[in-house]
Amino acid sequence: MAYLANMFSYTFMVRALIVGLLVSLCAALLGVSLVLKRYSMIGDGLSHVGFGALAVASVLGASELGVAIPVVVVAAVLLLRLSSSAAIKGDAAIALISTGSLALGVLVISVTSGMNTDVMNFLFGSILAMSQSDVTLSIILSACVLTLFVLFYCRMFAVTFDEGFARATGANAGLYNTLLACLTAVTIVLGMRMMGALLISSLIIFPPLTSMRLCKTFRSVVICSGLLSALCFVAGMVISFALSTPTGPSVVAVNIICFCVFAALGRAHALKMTARRANIR
């Protein structure tokens, strides 16, 4: 306890904890729908767009969040439109926008200031980057995401699994998809400055996939993903502080361990159920 008290005696650590917990929760909840809709790599694409936007904002001396959030939201909506287009498939659309944005960001920084420490922080994250505005935006974001999943759970369930059925029941599937994309974009921007542009998508992918190893219903996967993501972030942050390792890779390492454990437990449970059914017959 004394160790944790010492760890969180620093203001920047408290801010990082609040932002990290809220962003991890939002990323995990949104990630459930994205993974099930086969849009999981949209997080990777948007993080590259965010890197390009942050690079341009840094060079211009403009507000990083003020530039990155609108740009990434527009990119998210554009990716959604391109993914539903017959001309360009979803994975190709993500690759097209993400690689272009990453290249633009690197070119802008290379021409102006070179690959300095700020660029490395954009790519791999830094807990020192968290400010009070990040905390405020994270609270607003988490309130929006929780409201979406609590009040509109049935609509989210329908849109996630069968958009045709959702439209038949009166749900505006396009609106929910756009809302999902926009919330994901804001989550990516807030999280990538701490996790890094190269690793932020792990918060979207790992918790849902890990939860699906054991949980078999949409509701249980959503709840388990949120809790697991928050626990993994805290564990990764503590490890990062103790071993002086980067926060992003530490959190991802904990997520990988949890995935392996859940996969083993899920496999053991499946074998047990198979043996039980064989005995009944």
pLDDT of residue 118: 62
Query: How does residue 221 score in pLDDT terms, banded at 50, 70 and 90?
Result: very high
Q: 25-76: per-residue pLDDT in tens? A: 999 999 999 888 888 888 888 888 888 888 888 778 788 888 888 999 998 8
In contact, 16 and 194? CB cutoff 8 Å? yes
Segment 244-267 mean pLDDT: 91
Q: What is the mean pLDDT of residues 84-113?
A: 75
What is the average pLDDT value for the chain, to the nearest integer? 84
> Where is pLDDT greater, at 247 or 227?
227
pLDDT on residue 230: 93
Residue 259 banded pLDDT, cuts 50, 70, 90: very high
Which residue segments constitute the domains of the chain, with CATH numbers given?
12-200 (1.10.3470.10)
